[in-house]
């Protein structure tokens, strides 16, 4: 696998989208640009399953019961993370981003060929929450109870996600395998 740059984003609860104040979003830039057709296979091999291929919803949403990985297999998009006051990130073929449970995400713009693979640790099922006031306080408890993944979706058992989320340290470069 190629060496990649990683960007981290931390988001606090904004009153609508709970986000995850303990775990950062990890964006692996261009890590799988050389093999976009294999992204789903790579995720599944590392036990991130229950996968699907499609786009990203054009409204703010999050999953309170599971972490999610998204890998861009084609096109480009602007994704807003963290709710209305969150960060706008540009993603393109080969980028992978891991969203901790509770992290809001929304597609703002995309090319017509934009497609992602989504998957979940251990093939868990996901819910879709939109920040409705009636979702609280249950979702806040649910987010805290989500199990840590046992593998990184790209690198497996010794990937940067495992190192970063378990130690909550700073990783700015990942490694080759």
Domains of the chain: 5-167 (2.60.120.10)
Q: What is the mean pLDDT of each run of 10 residues along the chain (177 residues)?
A: 78 96 95 95 98 98 98 98 97 97 98 98 97 95 95 92 70 36
Q: What is the pLDDT of residue 172?
A: 38
Phi/psi-derived region of residue 64, left when phi > 0, alpha when psi is between -120 and 50, beta in every other case: alpha
Q: What is the pLDDT of residue 177?
A: 30
Q: What is the pLDDT of residue 163?
A: 84
CA distance 19 to 25: 10
For the question of whether the overall pTM of this predicted structure is more than 0.85, the answer is: yes
* Token digits of residue 37: 């057709």
* Token digits of residue 39: 């992204």
Spatial strand order in the sheet of 5-11: 5-11, 20-29, 96-99, 68-74, 115-121, 48-54
Q: What is the pLDDT of residue 3?
A: 52
């Amino acid at each position: 696998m190629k060496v990649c740059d990683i960007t981290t984003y931390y988001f606090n609860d904004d009153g609508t989208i709970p986000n995850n104040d303990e775990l950062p979003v990890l964006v692996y830039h261009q890590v799988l640009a050389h093999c976009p057709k294999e992204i789903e296979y790579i995720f599944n091999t590392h036990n991130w399953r229950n996968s699907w291929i499609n786009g990203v919803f054009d409204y703010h949403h999050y999953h309170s019961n599971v972490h999610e990985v998204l890998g861009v297999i084609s096109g480009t998009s602007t994704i807003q993370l963290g709710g209305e006051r969150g960060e706008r990130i540009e993603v393109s073929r080969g980028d992978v981003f891991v969203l901790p449970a509770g992290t809001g995400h929304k597609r703002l713009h995309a090319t017509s060929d934009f497609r992602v693979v989504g998957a979940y640790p251990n093939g868990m099922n996901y819910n879709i929450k939109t920040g409705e006031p009636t979702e609280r306080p249950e979702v806040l408890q649910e987010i805290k109870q989500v199990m840590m993944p046992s593998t990184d979706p790209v690198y497996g058992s010794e990937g940067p996600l495992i190192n970063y989320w378990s130690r909550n340290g700073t990783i700015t470069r990942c490694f080759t395998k």
